[in-house]
Structure 1
Amino acid sequence: MGLLELSPLSVVIGVIAMTAIAFIRFHFPFRYHYFCYLVKQRPKLVNKLLLRSYKKNKTAVGLLDKATCEMMDGAYDDAEKYLLEGIQQVLKSHGMQNRVIRNFFFNHLSWLLYYKGSHRESLEIALRLYEKAPSTPHILALISCNFARIGEVGQAIEAFSQLSRMEKESSPTLLTCRAEIEAAKGNPKKAVKLFHQAKNKKSYASICFIMYEIEQRIGQLTKTA
């Protein structure tokens, strides 16, 4: 029986070991995300890492990363295919990791719908995500811009005012939101100027206000002006 008696130290070591294993298992599928964060100012390398994740990860995270690549390249139909496939996978599974991944998928879907011009659908998802994470800047930015794109300027300004407490005044996210609000107000020249400022400030890879879309909006509003 003496062999089965555990000392306080061995119990602590056992708990630490189990916690460490659980932590590693939870975060391991996201390892390429962490690498991408470290090199986010090198878009080509980010792309390579995300594609590697798609090939190596046998989980829904790989599909999420592949969708991210397609979105940043402006291939929205392909991105949608990978997102929907991934969403089907995570909805069938349970557990904390799947709940986290599910939120990532719906966040991506909301941005994708925004880029495809489905602003009301994008807004609906973004508002649900905001209820779960009200202090997330990029969700507030998406809400503000969606309201602006559907002509709800007051709501857009309200979301923008909350966002401005979280972001620097010169951040590309804040500049883009200001640009969309000015466009909604009927000031295309001012909007174009702000979009150019956002474009010059954006120096990292992200699905939030991708460079391709900023350039598209500049082109559209320049014609309007």
Structure 2
Amino acid sequence: MEYLDLNLTSTLSGVAVVLVVAFLRLHWPFRYQYIGHFFRQNPERRKRWLDASYRRNRTRTVAMLDKSTLEILSGNYELAEKYIVQGLNVCKERPSLFNQAMVHYLFYNLAFVYFTSGKYSEALEIAFRVYQRDQGMTDSLGLIACSHARLGEIESAIEAYSLIPGKRSTREWKLLCLAEIEAAKGNYERAITHLHQLMTKSGLSLCLNRAELEKRLEEWTKASTQAG
């Protein structure tokens, strides 16, 4: 009986070790990204950690993901798209389970690039597919709602917005969606109010740099003046 107990203990210990090692191997490439999240309110420090990930991981898909996020934060959307395409090519050439999971994150970044570049239909299509395949990626709902709003599809935008969970991590997305929806309705003053709230939070978790937020502020302020 003691022999069986020892075997059971050894087996459980072995399983625990295997699970811990697997967990570390899965998450280790993301360590720079995780550290960068602690500096969401400090864009320059966050960029440095994303760049460190790229330099350390190099040819891995996580390097392309973090480099594309870095370029999005810097407003270099064409360059961001270049790294996204490189990452997707690596996923195609090396279809491991890890890379298959990375495809969703790379396509999310691509949808974001299209959205900030004014390609709202393309952004909507990709973000919708990402959310269909992984409903845990709720940031995709923000892109879907904002893209619908930019296309003037207000009811669809409101429907997508209603699906965004009320978590602290989604607060900034919800503010941006509300701003875009109000602007689509022609309520520019309300849109500007939501935008000001977002700008005080910096909007960095969205990857929207301050220049993008200020561009919207200028656009809606001008529209409000003309409407008045």
TM range (shorter): 0.7 to 0.9
Please give the per-residue CA displacement for 1:145-178, whole angstroms capped at 9, x wherever unaligned.
0000011011011111222x5246x933222111
Report the Cα distance in structure 1 between the residues aligned to 2:201 and 2:20, rounded to whole angstroms.
39
- Which residue number corresponds to residue 3 of structure 2? none
How far is the alpha carbon of 1:135 from its aligned partner? 4.7
SS at match of 2:190: helix
How far is the alpha carbon of 1:64 from its aligned partner? 1.1
| 1:153–1:184 contact (8 Å) kept in structure 2 | yes
Report the Cα distance in structure 1 between the residues aligned to 2:12 and 2:171, rounded to whole angstroms.
46
Matches within 5 A, 1:48-197: 48-58=48-58, 59-163=60-164, 165-167=165-167, 171-197=171-197
SS at match of 2:75: coil
Report the Cα distance in structure 2 between the residues aligned to 1:178 and 1:80, rounded to whole angstroms.
27
| 2:124–2:144 contact (8 Å) kept in structure 1 | yes
- Which residue number corresponds to residue 222 of structure 2? 223
| 1:68–1:207 contact (8 Å) kept in structure 2 | no
Unmatched segments (≥5 aa) in structure 1 = 1-5
Report the Cα distance in structure 2 between the residues aligned to 1:85 and 1:30, rounded to whole angstroms.
18
Report the Cα distance in structure 2 between the residues aligned to 1:95 and 1:68, rounded to whole angstroms.
22
Report the Cα distance in structure 1 between the residues aligned to 2:43 and 2:208, rounded to whole angstroms.
14
Q: Which amino acid aligns with 2:180?
A: E
| 2:145–2:158 contact (8 Å) kept in structure 1 | yes
Identity percentage of aligned residues: 36
Report the Cα distance in structure 1 between the residues aligned to 2:112 and 2:71, rounded to whole angstroms.
12
- Which residue number corresponds to residue 30 of structure 2? 30
Report the Cα distance in structure 1 between the residues aligned to 2:45 and 2:207, rounded to whole angstroms.
18
- Which residue number corresponds to residue 210 of structure 2? 211
| 1:167–1:174 contact (8 Å) kept in structure 2 | no
RMSD of aligned residue pairs (Cα, Å): 2.0
SS at match of 2:163: helix
Report the Cα distance in structure 2 between the residues aligned to 1:181 and 1:114, rounded to whole angstroms.
15
Report the Cα distance in structure 1 between the residues aligned to 2:171 and 2:27, rounded to whole angstroms.
29
| 2:32–2:50 contact (8 Å) kept in structure 1 | yes
| 2:69–2:207 contact (8 Å) kept in structure 1 | no
Please give the per-residue CA displacement for 1:69-103, whole angstroms capped at 9, x wherever unaligned.
11001111111111111111112222321122111
- Which residue number corresponds to residue 40 of structure 1? 40
Report the Cα distance in structure 2 between the residues aligned to 1:85 and 1:105, rounded to whole angstroms.
10
SS at match of 1:68: helix
Unmatched segments (≥5 aa) in structure 2 = 1-5
Report the Cα distance in structure 1 between the residues aligned to 2:81 and 2:73, rounded to whole angstroms.
12
Report the Cα distance in structure 2 between the residues aligned to 1:172 and 1:125, rounded to whole angstroms.
21
* TM-score normalised by length of structure 2: 0.87
How far is the alpha carbon of 1:21 from its aligned partner? 2.0
